Amino acid sequence: MNLFFNKIKGIIPVIVFILIWESASRLQLVNNLFIPPFSDVLLSIWNLALSGDLVIHIRTSLTRAVLAFIIAAIISIPLGFLLAGLNRNLQIAIEPVIDVFSQVNPFVLFHLAILILGIGEPTKIISIAWMCAWPIVFSTASGVKNVDNILIKSARSLGVNDFQLAIKVLLPSALPSIFTGLKLSAGYSVFMLIAAEMMGASNGLGWLIINNQENYSITTIFAAVTVITFLGLIINMLMEKLEKTLIPYENKEDINFIFGFFKREGV
Amino acid sequence: MINRLNLKYFMLRISGIAGIVILWELLPMFNIIESKVLPRFTTVIYTLIQMFYTKDLFMHLSVSLWRVINGLLIAAFIGISLGIILASFFPKVTDSLNPLLKILSQVNPFSLMPVFILFFGIGEKAKIAIVTWVCIWPILFNTISGVKNINVDLVKTALSMNIGPFSMIFKVILPAISQSIFLGIRLGVQISFFMLIAGEMLGASAGLGLLLHTAGHFFDSPTIYASGLVIVILGVSLNKFLVFLENGLFYWKEEAALSREYRIKKETIRLGKPELILIGIIFIGILFIGSQEVDKANILGQNPMSHNHHSTK
């Protein structure tokens, strides 16, 4: 019973929050035009879903985000390995460049991309990919840098070349760090996706928001906001499940295991 | 072993950046890339300096900075006080509130921007509200985690000397969590500066984001690059300033040892009371100048290409 209550404990404030929202709005404690009741927002989501629009918007938005994320991951992970110093000279040369480029605001890049490529899918995907790439680069580099030196030395003593070292030793060791970066980037991809869609798109969840701002249909705006938040939470959950399956090993010592060992010894 | 003071090391380090700047200058000069798409580096710098006179870059700069500082102050006030009260006096409630707060912090600030614009109109309040919303979450979370990780001995010692709740908060808790708060402030400033640029792009009468967006609208490449450069430099300087502040305030912190690199120990400037007062005066100065520029900007009127055809107050 206690375990069950512990799990539920987190949900209670959320439910209380929703109840307060609903009652405050219905009782006109906050202006009804500015904060519609939660039930109205749910109704709006339902209508959008029924008319088929919601699925289209979600699909276009998700396609952009996932594509940009994959592109960012494919480019960033090797770049992170490079930054961590497989080739020492290259690392020294690249490090200041990456320091500078990582600070470039994706919005600045967005306008530059519009200049070069015009307003279309590539522009949006490039800005989202840019925003996602840097956390992955830095977490990969830090993960590779912190690989246990003994592992590298033993591998070298067995005579591996650089490529084998990277794939068989560095990559599995650095995978937890890489995944931390990937999780962060997944969140950023949804984040930047909405921004890119708000500034130059004709469909998608971000476009839904900016379009309804002109119409003052605040219920639809709230509906889109709720859907986007929900999407972000689902993506986070999926990434954590993926992490658990791909990384069954833990680098940290398991305290429980140690205690269990002592217990068996009868200490 | 490559030593920091080695000439070869130095040459390698600047080779990347130097190469890029050289390419930036040469590629448009020989028309390998059109100068419409990539203007020459010297043109961009020249435009940048010109923007101080023709487009009143100083006003946009100070307006943006003013908004960030304002939003940060409000967020810090609310976040720190709420965090301390919640975590010190109601620890169990704080634990159960955690999922709710996490969900609320995940709400995309971009999606909230139209909501804020509808609430507050296209004025300063909306921008400051966005900065406040974005800044509150890191500050709140870091304050709460700071309070949770306070050394209990400190609290017990203070209690054994029979102090009241006010002294407890201001003399024990606040100094102990100041490092966590500062980390939260740093994260908040980074993200909120980012969001502010986006917000200014969506609807503003002044600000760096507006400069960038207008230039993009009219395909004025030198201005796009120049304002982009200003935005990036401002962001980087804000970050470096905060790191400098952090290193100066918490001078006892030791850097984590990076096993394989040889680092020369840096001399950090210790920030004492006089330096802090000077920094405080600079902040107040920015607030003052910024508010004057904001008034000037509002008098100058609407931006030339307003997306929103609403009437302003």
Q: Which two tokens stand for residue B275?
A: 């330096």
**Residue in B9, B232, B239 nearest the CB of A105:** B232
The whole-angstrom separation of Cα B100 and Cα B74 is: 22
> CATH fold of B54-252+267-300, please?
MetI-like fold (1.10.3720)
CA–CA gap between residue B302 and residue A121 (Å, rounded): 31
Q: A201: helix, coil or strand? A: coil
- Select the residue from B2, B97, B111 to test the A interface by mutation, using most A Cβ atoms within 10 A: B111
- pLDDT given for residue A254 in this prediction: 44
- Distance CA(B200)–CA(B306), nearest Å, equals 11
Q: Which residues of B touch A107 (CB under 8 A)?
A: 194, 197-198, 201, 209, 212, 231
> Is residue A10 very low, low, confident or very high in pLDDT (cuts 50, 70, 90)?
confident
- Decide if B118 and A216 are in contact by the 8 Å CB cutoff: yes
C-alpha A219/C-alpha A45 separation (Å) is 9
Which residue type sits at A265?
E
Contact A108 B308 (CB under 8 A): no
Distance from CA of A264 to the nearest CA of B (A): 33
Model-level ipTM above the cut of 0.90: no
| DSSP letters for chain B | ---TT-HHHHHHHHHHHHHHHHHHHHHHHTTSS-TTTS--HHHHHHHHHHHHHHS-HHHHHHHHHHHHHHHHHHHHHHHHHHHHHHHHH-HHHHHHHHHHHHHHHHS-HHHHHHHHHHHH-SSHHHHHHHHHHHHHHHHHHHHHHHHHTS-HHHHHHHHHTT--HHHIIIIIIHHHHHHHHHHHHHHHHHHHHHHHHHHHHHS-SSSHHHHHHHHHHTT-HHHHHHHHHHHHHHHHHHHHHHHHHHHHHTTTPPPPP-TT---PPP-PPP--HHHHHHHHHHHHHHHHHHHHHHHHHHHH-S-TT-S--PPP-
pTM: 0.82
Please give the angle made by the CA atoms of A29, A33 and A37, to the nearest 5 degrees.
65
- Per-residue pLDDT 10s for chain B (313 aa) are 455 567 777 887 788 888 888 888 888 888 777 777 888 888 888 888 888 888 778 888 888 888 899 899 999 999 999 999 988 888 888 888 888 888 888 888 888 888 888 778 777 888 888 899 999 999 999 999 999 888 889 889 999 998 888 888 888 898 889 989 999 999 899 888 888 888 888 777 778 888 888 888 888 888 888 888 899 889 889 888 898 888 888 877 766 554 445 555 566 777 788 888 888 888 888 888 888 877 777 776 655 444 443 434 3
- Dump pLDDT digits (tens) for A31-70: 777 788 888 888 888 888 888 888 888 888 999 999 999 9
Contacts of B217 (CB under 8 A, 6+ apart): B305
**For A35, which DSSP code?**
S
| Residues B104 and B233: beta-carbon distance below 8 Å | no
Amino acid at A157: S
**A94 contacts on B by Cβ (under 8 Å):** 16
d(CA A262, CA B36): 72
Position B185 scores a pLDDT of 92
- Any idea where the domains of chain A sit in the sequence? 36-249
User: What number of other Cβ atoms are within 10 A of residue A81's Cβ?
Assistant: 21
**pLDDT tens-place string over residues A182-219:** 988 998 888 889 888 888 778 888 888 888 877 778 88
Count of CA atoms in the C-beta half-sphere (13 A) of B153: 0
Task: Write the residue in A13, A212, A229 that is nearest to B96 by C-beta.
Answer: A13
**Dihedral Cα B2, B6, B7, B12, nearest 10 deg:** 30
Give the separation between CA A107 and CA A123, rounded to whole angstroms: 11
Tell whether domain A36-249 is in CATH 3.40.50.720. Answer: no
Does A97 contact B216 at a Cβ distance shorter than 8 Å? Answer: no
Q: Does B100 touch chain A (CB under 8 A)?
A: yes
Verify whether the Cβ–Cβ distance B12 to A89 is below 8 Å: yes
Q: Which residue has the tokens 């030793």?
A: A169
